[in-house]
Structure 1
Amino acid sequence: MAFPGAQVLIIHKNKTLIHKAYGYHTYDHITPVDTTHLYDLASVTKVMGGGLALMKLQEKGKFNPNMLLKETHPSFKNTDKADFTWQSILAHQAKLKPYIVFWQTAKRKNGRYKWRTFSYTQNKYNNIQIDDEIFLHRRYARKIEKLIKKSPLNSEAKYLYSGLGFLLIPDFVERTSGMPLDQFLKKEVYEPLDLDRITFQPSKYFPLEEIVPTEIDTFFRHKLVHGYVHDENASMLNGVSTNAGLFSNARSLGTIGEALLAKDDKIFDHQIVAQYTSVQFPENDNRRGLVFDKPMLTYKAGSSYVAESASPSSFGHSGFTGTFIWMDPEYDLIVIFLSNRVYPYRSNRKLYSMNFRPDLQQLAYDYLLKNKN
């Protein structure tokens, strides 16, 4: 099996073509998936969290992609990353390493955690909640920033997917807006769209029965991850990050997708949307927009998680846990697929080998092309 259950939502010209839930939370067939239930979005958070936050700050004149990292984060001034533009960071063109496993850096050689890292009791110092039994020291976020500063760079500036820059965005949003990332997004995007089923830290606001479990973690937490973010690095930022952390149902994402495709500037400045959803470095064979992913510059069957019929103007993102959202302004089409393909273990890659997401999306295009008259 590729996944125990899923939600599918396809919207065309603001009309819902299909909105269904399938299967169960897990393979034990106890809790059926409902369309209201929340999935861990993983890297879809980059666009539905980080991208939207930066776009709103840009509307307010407080950010633009040409800003240098040392301008938004002065502590990077004397590092080899100081002069990276946010355009290069957001388009994965900045020579940054893909990932740092921060929880492993908190371990001693004997396997035990260092002082001022993890604790199995919550107190005023260890108050970042990883799950019900693991708590991180409140100052460890500074260590994460230091490790990013010291991380080696790749030898040349070319497309390489990296989540490191997205770990720095929440701090910038809070310093610039005066609100934590989650509150800023709620005020600027989610509440204006009347969304109440998209959130960080879902176990604070929803019963576990409405949150789909993610994975039996055999690496870090050694238990079922349920109600807390799956991504370890996002968990170390208290579950509020822009590399991962958001939970949502398909309908909430669809509403945001409709707002992104709209031309009325009611929620998003459509010129800024166009900027973020345009290819930034085509000369470097980099298909990426600003935060948003794009179709391959030259389509290769079997190598893309996007349908062959997706137009060059289309945009979206996928997530490690088995999630996907794609918006196509040429067709006025939104395709959303949410699953927990990592359950019970992340080694399950059948979602990829079966080409499930591009095939699902292609069915939507085939339907529209067949019924275009």
Structure 2
Amino acid sequence: MSRITEFLQQARNEKAFSGAAYAIGNSDGITEQGAVGTLYWDGPSVQPDSIWDLASVTKPIAVLPLMVMLEHGECYLDDVIAHFLPHYKDTDKANLTLRQLLAHTSGIPGQQPLYQTSPTKEELLAAVRNLPLRFAPDTDVEYSSQGYMILGEIIEAIAGDSLDVVLKQLVLEPIGMSQTLFNPGAQLHPRIAATEYCEWRGTTVIGEVHDENAVVMGGMAGHAGLFSTAEDMSQLCQAMLRLGETAKGRFLQPETVRLMTNNQTSSLKLARGLGWQAKDRHDSPAGDLFSMSSYGHTGFTGTSIWMDPEDDVFAVLLTNRVHPKRTSTAIKRIRSIFHNLAFLSVRS
């Protein structure tokens, strides 16, 4: 048993999650992968092809079509919301830019339980429009799922199609991510890790997105809703480390990948790329050894991916740390130590 597997097994023994799958490697491929635990307590064992609710790891993936659209001349980063969504024209968000939404500098507040008062998709999106800005754009960083709901709307407006179709066509198929999708069908549920026992839904959630706002959105949104496997996430990491090159060809130009993954908020308190989280100097989920050039994203359900173009390392960790309840905070320490162990394993 590898050091990483031993570490994750110990975390499982301490009930940080019922199960976990991981894959680590570099731009040439996976160097180590493994799985521990079960899909839910007393459930079947986690397998290499088990499927996980990515939660907010959805964000950097769901906005990749915007980068393809940028290369096609269909948008640029200083385009404003109202250019694509006319119903924003008379709001305080009309002139917020794609760049500000992507880097979480828009001033739109995050962590809003809009589902509690907005039971339909239309009502929820109207509630997003009506949220008062928390601060003037570009003066602060506040992680905002609501901003990414708007980005999902914009992608659909540009493409004239639904987010799942656009994402599959422009990103998932070119990279070869055949196991990544919104709203997995019932036939896939036996492979999916359980998330939380949800009081709102009255059941333990399996195969439906954990995020309640995304449930109201129909399971498909720019901020949450994707399900995937460790293998598919490693395909994405390899494509990013190869600056957009995949086994099927190129899905983004190197300059676009660098633009997305560079720290766009170096003058502010938190390090953000476009869709991606850059590495903060202190308290980064990337741990201690990934370089300051590294980037990635985490998800509330216990998922994360992290890439280091300087040292050519990637690490994927998929867990269900919200099972059976969301109260445990152990994943914060687990992620950092996992990333340290992953880095050393790949670089050794």
TM over 0.5: yes
What amino acid sits opposite 1:367 in the alignment?
Answer: S
Q: Which residue of 2 aligns with 1:367?
A: 345
Deviation for aligned residue 1:67: 0.9
2:174 is the alignment partner of 1:196:
no
Cα contact 2:194–2:206 (8 A) shared by 1: yes
Aligned mates of 2:125, 2:273 — CA distance in 1 = 25
SS in structure 1 of the partner of residue 185 of structure 2 = helix
2: distance between equivalents of 1:245 and 1:280? 26
Q: Match for residue 175 of structure 1?
A: 157
Determine if the alignment matches structure 1 residue 16 to structure 2 residue 30.
Answer: yes
Q: Which amino acid aligns with 1:7?
A: A
1 CA distance for matches of 2:262 and 2:172?
Answer: 24
- What residue number does 1:337 align with? 317
Larger Rg: 1
More helix by share: 2
Corresponding residue SS for 1:168:
helix
Matched with 1:125 is: none
Query: 1:186 aligns to what?
Result: 168
Give me the whole-angstrom Cα distance separating, in 2, the residues matched to 1:324 and 1:342: 14
Match for residue 303 of structure 2? 323
TM-score (norm 1): 0.84
- The answer to whether the aligner puts 1:223 opposite 2:203 as a matched pair is yes
* Cα distance in 2, alignment partners of residues 187 and 264 from structure 1: 15
1:74-89 mapped onto 2 (5 Å cutoff)? 74-89=86-101
Question: CA–CA distance in 1 between the matches of 2:202 and 2:334?
Answer: 29
How many Å apart are 1:264 and its aligned residue?
6.1
Tell me by how many angstroms 1:102 deviates.
2.0
Encode CA deviations 1:108-139: one digit per residue, 9 max, x unaligned. xxxxxxxxx4xxxxxxxxxxxxxxxxxxxxxx
Judge conservation of contact 1:8–1:19 (CA < 8 Å) in 2. Answer: yes
Query: Who is 2:195 aligned against?
Result: 214
Matched to 1:82, the amino acid is A
Task: Give 3-state SS (helix, strand or coil) of 1:273's partner.
Answer: helix
Correspondence for 2:213 among 233, 243, 256: 233
Supply the AA of the counterpart residue of 1:93: T
Tell me how far apart the structure 1 counterparts of residues 134 and 215 of structure 2 sit (CA, whole Å): 26
Q: Does 1:44 align with 2:26?
A: no
User: 1:328, 1:155 → 2: CA distance?
Assistant: 32
Contact 1:279 1:286 in 2 (8 A): no
Q: 1:250 aligns with which of 230, 246, 249?
A: 230
CA contact (8 A) 2:276 2:296 kept: yes
Corresponding residue number in structure 2 for 1:262? 242
The 2-side partners of 1:342 and 1:66 are apart by 37
CA contact (8 A) 2:107 2:134 kept: yes
User: In 2 relative to 1, CA 98–264 (structure 1 residues): closer, same or farther, beyond 3 Å?
Assistant: closer
> Is 2:74 the partner of 1:62?
yes
Question: Structure 1: which amino acid aligns with 2:191?
Answer: E
1:368 Cα deviation (Å)? 4.7
| Aligned residues of 2:62 and 2:152 also touching (Cα < 8 A) | no
Given the two structures, how large is their TM-score scaled by the length of structure 2? 0.90
CA distance in 2, matches of 1:367, 1:279: 26
Where 1:158 maps in the other structure, the secondary structure is: coil
Aligned-CA RMSD value: 1.6
Distance 1:102 1:285 in 2: 27
Aligned position for 1:346: 326
Are residues 1:7 and 2:9 paired? no
8 Å Cα contact 2:230-2:316 kept in structure 1: yes
Alignment of 1:93-242 (within 5 A): 93-106=105-118, 117=119, 140-156=120-136, 157-203=139-185, 206-218=187-199, 220-242=200-222
Q: Which residue of 2 aligns with 1:71?
A: 83
Deviation at 1:345, TM superposition (A): 0.5
| C-alpha contact 2:289 2:340 (8 A) present in aligned 1 | yes
Stretches of structure 1 that go unaligned for 5 or more consecutive residues are 107-116, 118-139
Q: Indicate conservation of the 8 Å contact 1:170/1:180, yes or no.
A: no
Q: 1:35–1:250: 8 Å Cα contact kept in structure 2?
A: yes
How far apart in 1 are the matches of 2:52 and 2:209?
10
Distance verdict in 2 for CA 1:368–1:223, change over 3 Å: closer
Residue identity in the other structure for 1:366: L
SS at match of 1:271: helix
Query: How many correspondences in the alignment?
Result: 328
User: Aligned partners of 1:232 and 1:71: how far apart in 2?
Assistant: 29
* Counterpart Cα distance in 1 of 2:25 and 2:89: 45
**SS in structure 2 of the partner of residue 348 of structure 1:** coil
Other structure's SS at 1:282 match: coil
Work out the CA distance in 2 between the residues paired with 1:187 and 1:13.
23
C-alpha deviations, 1:158-182, integer Å up to 9, x for none? Answer: 0111111111223222221122111
Structure 2 residues without counterparts, runs of 5 or longer: 1-14
Q: Which residue of 1 aligns with 2:11?
A: none
CA spacing shift, 1:190–1:32, aligned 2, 3 Å: same
